[in-house]
Amino acid sequence: MSMKVATRQVDGITILDLSGRITLGEGSVTLRDAVHDVLAKGSKKILLNLENISYIDSSGIGELVSGFTSVKNAGGELKLLNLTKKVHDLLQITKLYTVFDIWDSEASAVSAFK
């Protein structure tokens, strides 16, 4: 199953609802393109909803990091929402859990953007 992205706006925040697998190839490229499209349209506050991400590999983790860095370098913020246990565990063992700003409530996450 490839990755799918649905985009919506809440209080000036762009929320990307991701579903499927973020893996080497199509999934990682889809995520990269989605983040770059949001930045290109001038939005710099991005919330990635990972609730329906069933699987992520090292390439997908790398793409999350690259997206985080791209948005930060553009003067924006990228936060993560609704991690599955699997993604949570992977971010823990790769020591990325404290790098990302991670939320389990959409309303709280949206409020946390400056």
The site for another protein (CB under 8 A) is made up of 23-26, 55, 57-59, 61-63, 65-66, 68-69, 86, 90, 93-96, 99
Residue 55 CB, shortest distance to another protein, in Å, is 8
Residue 86 CB, shortest distance to another protein, in Å, is 7
Q: Is 90 exposed, middle or buried (0-12, 13-18, 19+ CB in 10 A)?
A: buried
Closer CB to another protein, 96 or 106, in the complex: 96
38's CB contacts (< 8 A; 6+ apart) are 7, 14, 16, 46
Closer CB to another protein, 94 or 111, in the complex: 94
Q: Which residue has the tokens 């991701």?
A: 18
Residue 105 CB, shortest distance to another protein, in Å, is 26
User: Partners of 56 in the beta sheet?
Assistant: 22
92's CB contacts (< 8 A; 6+ apart) are none
Closer CB to another protein, 63 or 109, in the complex: 63
Residue 2 CB, shortest distance to another protein, in Å, is 11
